[in-house]
Amino acid sequence: MRGTSVEMRGIVKKFGSVTASDQVDFSANAGEIHALLGENGAGKSTVMSMLSGVYRADEGEIFIHEKGAQIRSPKDAAQLGVGMVFQNFRLVQSLTAAENIVLGEKSSFWRGRKWMKNKREEIEALAERFGLNFPVDRPIWQLSVGEQQRVEIVKTLYRGADIIILDEPTSVLTPGEVEQLFETLRVMKQAGKTVIMTTHKMKEVMASSDRISVMRKGKMIATLTTADTDELELARLMVGKEVTITRQEREATEGDSLLEVKDVDVYADHGRKALDHFSLNVCKGEIVGVAGVAGNGQKELAEVLTGLRGWKSGEITFDGKTVKSASVRGAIDSGISHVPENRMKSGLAGRLGSVDNLLFKSYRSEEHSKFGFLKSAKNRLWSQELVQRFNVKTPELETPVQQLSGGNQQKLLFAREISHRPKLMVAVHPTQGLDVGATAGVHDLLMELRGSGSGVLLISEDLDELLQLSDRILVIYNGSIIGESTHEEANRESIGLLMAGIHNREESAV
Ligand SMILES: Nc1ncnc2c1ncn2[C@@H]1O[C@H](COP(=O)(O)OP(=O)(O)OP(=O)(O)O)[C@@H](O)[C@H]1O
């Protein structure tokens, strides 16, 4: 099937005073990979959510395969062949991959073993056709993030989707997995499917898409053929003005030791050993990058350092003092800031506004309260300044932060954590979901922190980010550090292989 598979005309969606989608026209063809670009809050997710039935448009028309379509719910969208893979997967953790895929089919669990066996074979065949490998019989919680994403994609294909929307699909993947995903997208394209992908990663867009649509402030600005454009033009269209890309200069620093973790064992929620005789150190004025595939102990490492999780044996010293036990208050008071992996789960309170969220860690300080009463006017002003400085786009300071776009939530969190002038910043995927400008802003802030003598532990899956910022890069695998290189000697390929647990190229051929 070729031709226009999706056409959206004059789509309007308002949230209170915010026009998230302002007379948007968008179209995509069968057999193409179409990227949707735009700054944080530009309206990409809103438009895609209307196509997939999560939101209903206030105005406008949608045509699927050139026929007028009423999309009022995800079910309507699914019936029209539209499937969406969200950033936060919607899988039931305790069920197997195969069970998740058939879930929702009429009384799927009453049909017995034979039925399930046939379904499993069908799923395996579908997964293989599109190059999507994962263990079909394992419960979701045992799968890596990349594997879970593959389950989500197969789920949409299984339900007959020929228009597949992926919301920032690569932000959670390792370089190898990104390549694998793009191969899958190419197979989909050859099969005549329409792939629509929102993303902030320009290099990936240039390498994988056929056409690109750019949104800015709720409006559709342009649709271009990828071969006829470049990163600078795209950045200019997104931001609305000329963009110059500056590279950070770095001078070597040699600071005193700040953090020492020695021979520590840590257990994860399911009783599995997450860190195994783990050691690392961070000096003042140093950015130490930790590269690794999610699930290799990074989350637990960040939790231990920020007082959220205890450890068994070994020793942790921070700023010359031995840390005796896990304490969030202790970590905050000693000068450790944390940008967590999941901002809405452990970073922000969704229903509260920006002021409350910014005050979370410091409301007890003299600067913000007196005799137990908050200094409301002063705090509002302080928040206003932070929101402006970090360019957080929010209609009002009181707007619940769950209504902000993902990127703006991340900027708000960063604003709070940096405003404490931490001695150590533990930053986990700090630029995930951020647009080009905001990413550069966060990178500048981390370099500024380094320059002012603070230490930074940067846990990221983004190799470009790690290579650009880190003084040293450590590779974590199975709860241990299996490789280390300095900024100068760091090599993309060998780090990528180590992340997959492969020590040298010969081994990769095995
Ligand atoms: N449920 C909601 N309630 C209120 N406002 C919303 C809601 N969802 C989105 N918005 C607002 O609509 C605008 C567009 O947000 P949207 O999430 O579509 O942007 P985006 O381009 O996908 O951004 P990002 O790249 O940061 O994910 C933002 O100003 C956002 O605050």
Q: How far is the CA of 446 from the centre of ligand 1 (A)?
A: 26
Q: How far is the CA of 140 from the centre of ligand 1 (A)?
A: 29
Instruction: List the one residue out of 467, 464, 470 whose CA is nearest residue 446.
Output: 470
Q: How far is the CA of 479 from the centre of ligand 1 (A)?
A: 36
Low-confidence ranges of the chain (pLDDT < 70): 1-2, 106-111, 242-253, 346, 362-364, 366, 369, 374-375, 503-510
Confidence at residue 224, expressed as pLDDT on a 0 to 100 scale: 97
Instruction: List the one residue out of 309, 306, 311, 317 whose CA is nearest residue 340.
Output: 306
**Cα–Cα distance measured from residue 147 to residue 142, given in angstroms and rounded to the nearest whole number:** 10
Confidence at residue 506, expressed as pLDDT on a 0 to 100 scale: 45
Question: Domains along the chain?
Answer: 4-239 (3.40.50.300), 257-348+423-509 (3.40.50.300)
Q: How far is the CA of 45 from the centre of ligand 1 (A)?
A: 7
Confidence at residue 505, expressed as pLDDT on a 0 to 100 scale: 47
Q: Atom 16, ligand 1: which residue's CA is nearest? A: 43
Q: How far is the CA of 165 from the centre of ligand 1 (A)?
A: 17
Q: Which residues pair with 428 in a beta bridge?
A: 459
Q: Atom 24, ligand 1: which residue's CA is nearest? A: 40
Q: How far is the CA of 15 from the centre of ligand 1 (A)?
A: 9
- Strands 287-291 and 472-477, by their bridges, are parallel
Q: How far is the CA of 481 from the centre of ligand 1 (A)?
A: 38
Q: Atom 31, ligand 1: which residue's CA is nearest? A: 404
**Cα–Cα distance measured from residue 191 to residue 452, given in angstroms and rounded to the nearest whole number:** 54
Q: Atom 29, ligand 1: which residue's CA is nearest? A: 41
Q: Atom 12, ligand 1: which residue's CA is nearest? A: 20
**What atom of ligand 1 comes closest to residue 47's alpha carbon?**
18
Q: How far is the CA of 14 from the centre of ligand 1 (A)?
A: 10
Based on its alpha-carbon atoms, the radius of gyration of the chain, rounded to whole angstroms, reads: 24
Query: What's the pLDDT tens digit per position in 385-416?
Result: 999 988 888 999 999 999 888 778 888 998 89
CB-based contact 462:298 (threshold 8 Å): no
**Per residue in 100-125, is it b (16+ CB within 10 Å) or e — as a string?**
bbbeeeeeeeeeeeeebeebbeebee
**What atom of ligand 1 comes closest to residue 394's alpha carbon?**
31
Q: How far is the CA of 265 from the centre of ligand 1 (A)?
A: 41
Estimate the crossing angle of helix 376-389 against helix 406-419, to 10 degrees. 120
**What atom of ligand 1 comes closest to residue 55's alpha carbon?**
1
Q: How far is the CA of 408 from the centre of ligand 1 (A)?
A: 9
Reported as half-sphere exposure (CB side, CA atoms, 13 A), residue 292 has a value of 24
Q: How far is the CA of 350 from the centre of ligand 1 (A)?
A: 14
**What atom of ligand 1 comes closest to residue 393's alpha carbon?**
29
**Cα–Cα distance measured from residue 24 to residue 6, given in angstroms and rounded to the nearest whole number:** 13
| DSSP annotation string for 271-324 | S-EEEEEEEEEEETT-EEEEE--TTSSHHHHHHHHTTSS--SSSEEEETTEE--
User: Which CA distances in Å does 501 have to 133, 134, 495?
Assistant: 18, 18, 10
- Mutating to test ligand 1, I would choose from 11, 12, 15, 40 the residue with most ligand atoms within 8 A of its C-beta, which is 15
CB-based contact 255:244 (threshold 8 Å): no
What's phi and psi for 502, nearest 5 deg?
-105, 125
Q: Atom 7, ligand 1: which residue's CA is nearest? A: 403
Q: 165 is written with which tokens? A: 């929307």
Q: Atom 10, ligand 1: which residue's CA is nearest? A: 403
Q: How far is the CA of 13 from the centre of ligand 1 (A)?
A: 11
Confidence at residue 509, expressed as pLDDT on a 0 to 100 scale: 34
- Mutating to test ligand 1, I would choose from 200, 237, 239, 405 the residue with most ligand atoms within 8 A of its C-beta, which is 405
Residues 6+ apart with CB under 8 A from 208: 33, 35, 182, 185, 186, 197
Q: How far is the CA of 42 from the centre of ligand 1 (A)?
A: 7
- Mutating to test ligand 1, I would choose from 18, 344, 413, 435 the residue with most ligand atoms within 8 A of its C-beta, which is 18
pTM over 0.80: no
Contacts 24+ apart (CB under 8 A), 443-448: 443/248, 443/468, 443/469, 444/248, 445/414, 445/418, 446/287, 447/248, 447/250, 447/287
CB-based contact 193:162 (threshold 8 Å): yes
- Strands 211-216 and 219-225, by their bridges, are antiparallel
Q: How far is the CA of 158 from the centre of ligand 1 (A)?
A: 29
Helices (H), 64-144: 74-79, 97-102, 112-129
Ligand 1 is surrounded, with C-beta below 6 A, by 15, 18, 20, 38, 40-46, 393, 403-407, 433
Confidence at residue 377, expressed as pLDDT on a 0 to 100 scale: 77
- Mutating to test ligand 1, I would choose from 45, 49, 413, 431 the residue with most ligand atoms within 8 A of its C-beta, which is 45
Confidence at residue 111, expressed as pLDDT on a 0 to 100 scale: 65
Q: Atom 28, ligand 1: which residue's CA is nearest? A: 41
Instruction: List the one residue out of 144, 268, 216, 182 whose CA is nearest residue 435.
Output: 216
**What atom of ligand 1 comes closest to residue 404's alpha carbon?**
31
